[in-house]
Amino acid sequence: MVHRLPRVLLTLVAVAFLVLFVVAPAVNVFAQALSKGARAYVSTFYAPRVQGQEKLPLKERRALSKEQAQAEKTRAAIRMTLGVAAVVVPLNVVFGVAAAWAIAKFRFRGRSLLVSLIDLPFSVSPVVAGLVFVLLMGRQGFFGRWATQFQWPDLASIYWKGFAESAWPVGAANWHSGVIFTPLAAVLASVFVTFPFVARSLIPLMESQGTDAEEAAITLGAGGLRTFWKVSLPNVKWGLLYGVVLCAARTMGEFGAVSVVSGHLDSNDTMPLRVEKLWNEYNTQAAFAVASLLALLAVVTLVLKTLAEWKTRAADE
Amino acid sequence: MTSSRRILPGFGPSLGFTLFYLTLLVLVPLGALFVKTSQLTWERFRETVTDPVVVSSYRLSFQASIAAAAINGVFGLVVAWVLVRYPFPGRRLLDAVVDFPFALPTAVAGLTFGSLYMRVPWIDAVRIGTWITRGINAVLSRTGVGTVSAEALSGLDEFRVIVMLVFVGLPFVVRTVQPVLQDFDPEVEQAAHSLGAGRWTVFRRLVFPHIFPAWVSGVALAFARAVGEYGSVIFVAGNIPGKSQIAPLQIITKLDDYRYAEATAIGVVLLSVSLAILLVINGLEWWARRHERA
């Protein structure tokens, strides 16, 4: 019994630490989101017009239309988040695969420097990341003159009205100056913050698999691209999937960098920025409802990670 | 160059694209930061970065980050140890849970921690602040210093920021120590035990030196992440200028006032700290690899 004491004690400490710092806060998100019931939760995202709304007493009518306006803003933020991720993730996947191929399959000078450079966004404050894009693209920035004189489509202009008016993003006829405080700026900042994730999840995997299979394929007469599609990619598909999901989750959850380049405009709100605004408006339940979607995304990411590890381990054995 | 270079195609294009992307996205923007700062005169730069309000924000950022990294250093090691050495039901689940702070958006983390210091509607009694205070009081009452109240403690901005940063940095120590601990050969320990060494001696003399480089770089990573953290901390800190503002918030405040040069100066200080930490981590890894070979 004396022998087992440290073991029991340490296990208890570890479990208590994780429950206190991770599990309890995570449960709290969902508990608070549902604290006013399922109806309030749903109406955070979807509050349709009630039939005969105009005939209701003024007070009720005001409350209803306020709820509807808030839900519309939240939905616009969700569309914005998905839109940004739809641009950022493919860009970073292409980069991640190219970087992993060069780094994992070849030895060259400055290789470890390159790896450090890819890790850089992990240690740079997201606020600094946003700041550099303001410095580059802002009115007084290095490319500021070019950015403000060039005529941009609405998505990249400061006259962007957000997704509130329509789900279709581009007002084709409207071209204005801009870049900073626009969705394009949010895309650029997000690309910076999340580009390491795909590369990071592929490099160790591709490195451990070596180059034998590819060399065999090439020797047997397969072309480079064919080798990549038929040999390399299937071997790392779970790692790639995890990298993509992590990159997407991080893009959708990015706060600091996007906050700086959004200019605090409602039309540029992504879901995390919407969470902050709702919280500052003392609309706690709604803030948690939006946050619960993001937390769910985090849970999905973790499940996929566990699955990916399990699959690669199974493939190794 | 190895033979694989000659056989496998695609080295040129993939490396070229990688370098192009990195230059466009990392080197040019970060270069711009330094160029912009160099436009400031030295006096102006010094004035900006040593302004009392700014200095107090560094103090809060660095003190809280060091404290949080230290707490993670201890508890992260315990968690890694338990996850590697002690199989118990639910271990796999707990192992997955460790990554949660890494996957959860910072704004959501700040939101939930911020609300845990107030009354939680579902169970009134569950307040992390109260639990932690009870733990601290249990220690304090033995030393005879006296006790602190939960209200006073959670009223402290430092305390709230530290708790937040512990959450943010939690995966780093566990995930750097875990694989090294897994690789440690148990036979070495058994040999030491059979030679009469106690458990604690074995840990101190054999296991800890082995995992030390990984542990330090884990702590350093947690610290680097904590210094730059913004999204979660602004939800829990009071954000009062000169008292409870963190350094990244200073940048935002200056930017909102269109004081770009000053914002840049503070940004450069923060960036330099992160680069220095990165250098230390890389140095440590290099040192560990050299020791392994020797």
User: Looking at residue B119, what is its pLDDT?
Assistant: 46
In percent, how much of chain B has pLDDT > 90? 22
* Phi, psi of B100, deg, nearest 5: -60, -45
Query: For A126, which residue in chain B has the nearest alpha carbon?
Result: B228
In percent, how much of chain B has pLDDT > 70? 83
Q: Is residue A230 part of a domain?
A: yes
DSSP states of A188-247: HHHHHHHTHHHHHHHHHHHHHH-SHHHHHHHHTT--HHHHIIIIIHHHTHHHHHHHHHHH
User: Looking at residue A182, what is its pLDDT?
Assistant: 81
Structure confidence at residue A290 as a pLDDT band (50, 70, 90)? very high
Of A136, A149, A145, which is closest to residue A176 (Cα–Cα)?
Answer: A149
Task: Determine whether the interchain pair A134/B88 forms a contact, defined as Cβ–Cβ distance below 8 Å.
Answer: no
Q: Is the pLDDT of residue A310 over 80?
A: yes
Task: Determine whether the interchain pair A138/B274 forms a contact, defined as Cβ–Cβ distance below 8 Å.
Answer: no
Query: For A106, which residue in chain B has the nearest alpha carbon?
Result: B5
CATH classification of the domain holding A119: 1.10.3720.10
Task: Determine whether the interchain pair B98/A22 forms a contact, defined as Cβ–Cβ distance below 8 Å.
Answer: yes
Q: Is A166 helix (H, G, I), strand (E, B) or coil?
A: coil
What value does the mean pLDDT of chain B take? Answer: 82
Instruction: Tell me if chain A has a CB within 8 Å of the CB of B200.
Output: no
Are A303 and A38 within 8 A, CB to CB? no
Q: What is the largest CA-CA distance in chain B?
A: 72
Q: How many domains does chain A have?
A: 1
Q: Is residue A72 part of a domain?
A: no
Task: Determine whether the interchain pair A191/B25 forms a contact, defined as Cβ–Cβ distance below 8 Å.
Answer: yes
User: Looking at residue B117, what is its pLDDT?
Assistant: 60
Q: Is the pLDDT of residue A293 over 90?
A: yes
Q: Is B99 helix (H, G, I), strand (E, B) or coil?
A: coil
In percent, how much of chain A has pLDDT > 90? 27
Residue recorded with tokens 């410095």:
A135
Residues 6+ apart with CB under 8 A from B137: B147, B148
Choosing among B8, B54, B165, B273, which should be mutated to test the A contact, i.e. which has the most A CBs within 10 A?
Answer: B8
Q: Is the pLDDT of residue A97 over 90?
A: yes
CB pairs under 8 A between A and B: 292
Per-residue pLDDT of A214-271, as tens digits, reads: 888 888 888 878 888 888 888 888 889 989 998 999 999 999 999 998 888 888 889 9
Q: Is the pLDDT of residue A92 over 50?
A: yes
Are A163 and A80 within 8 A, CB to CB? yes
Give the ranges where B28-149 is alpha helix by DSSP (H): 28-38, 42-49, 52-85, 91-97, 100-103, 106-116, 128-143
Domain that holds residue A278: 83-151+186-316
Q: 164-193 in B: which are within 8 Å (CB) of A?
A: 166-167, 170
Are A137 and A143 within 8 A, CB to CB? yes
DSSP states of B153-208: HHH-HHHHHHHHHHHHHHHHHHHHHHHHHHHS-HHHHHHHHHTT--HHHHIIIIIH
Per-residue pLDDT of B50-89, as tens digits, reads: 888 888 888 889 889 999 999 999 999 999 999 998 888 8
Residues 6+ apart with CB under 8 A from A172: A153
User: Looking at residue A314, what is its pLDDT?
Assistant: 79
Choosing among B88, B112, B281, which should be mutated to test the A contact, i.e. which has the most A CBs within 10 A?
Answer: B112
Task: Determine whether the interchain pair B107/A291 forms a contact, defined as Cβ–Cβ distance below 8 Å.
Answer: yes
What value does the mean pLDDT of chain A take? Answer: 84
Task: Determine the Cα–Cα distance for residues A165 and A64; give it in Å rounded to an integer.
Answer: 19
Task: Determine the Cα–Cα distance for residues B110 and A25; give it in Å rounded to an integer.
Answer: 10
User: Amino acid identity, residue B122?
Assistant: W
* Domain B35-120+158-293 falls under CATH 1.10.3720.10: yes
Q: Is the pLDDT of residue A157 over 90?
A: no
Task: Determine the Cα–Cα distance for residues A36 and A81; give it in Å rounded to an integer.
Answer: 26
DSSP 8-state assignment for residue A143 = T
Task: Determine the Cα–Cα distance for residues B212 and B235; give it in Å rounded to an integer.
Answer: 34
User: Looking at residue B78, what is its pLDDT?
Assistant: 94
Q: Is residue A215 part of a domain?
A: yes
Task: Determine the Cα–Cα distance for residues A257 and A260; give it in Å rounded to an integer.
Answer: 5
Task: Determine whether the interchain pair A24/B166 forms a contact, defined as Cβ–Cβ distance below 8 Å.
Answer: no
Distance from CA of B145 to the nearest CA of A (A): 24
* B10 neighbourhood in chain A, CB within 8 Å: 101, 224, 228
Distance from CA of A295 to the nearest CA of B (A): 6
* Phi, psi of A106, deg, nearest 5: -130, 155
For A20, which of B112, B131, B227 is closest by C-beta distance? B131
Of B265, B281, B291, B227, which is closest to residue B54 (Cα–Cα)?
Answer: B265
User: Amino acid identity, residue B166?
Assistant: V
User: Looking at residue A174, what is its pLDDT?
Assistant: 52
Q: Is the pLDDT of residue B1 over 50?
A: no
Q: Is the pLDDT of residue B137 over 60?
A: yes
Whole-structure pTM value:
0.84
* A147 neighbourhood in chain B, CB within 8 Å: none
Q: Which of A121-125, A163-167, B232-236 has the highest mean pLDDT?
A: B232-236
Task: Determine whether the interchain pair A28/B99 forms a contact, defined as Cβ–Cβ distance below 8 Å.
Answer: no
Nearest 5 degrees, angle CA A301-CA A261-CA A245?
Answer: 15
SS (H, E, C) B211-263: HHHHHHHHHHHHHHHHHHCCCCHHHHCCCCCCCCCCHHHHHHHHHHCCCHHHH
Structure confidence at residue B121 as a pLDDT band (50, 70, 90)? very low
Q: Which helix (H) or strand (E) holds B19?
A: helix B11-22
Q: Is the pLDDT of residue A88 over 90?
A: yes
Q: Which helix (H) or strand (E) holds B275?
A: helix B260-293
Nearest 5 degrees, angle CA B175-CA B221-CA B76?
Answer: 45
* B255 neighbourhood in chain A, CB within 8 Å: 131, 134, 260
Distance from CA of A89 to the nearest CA of B (A): 14
Per-residue pLDDT of A18-41, as tens digits, reads: 988 899 889 989 998 998 888 889
Task: Determine whether the interchain pair B7/A7 forms a contact, defined as Cβ–Cβ distance below 8 Å.
Answer: no
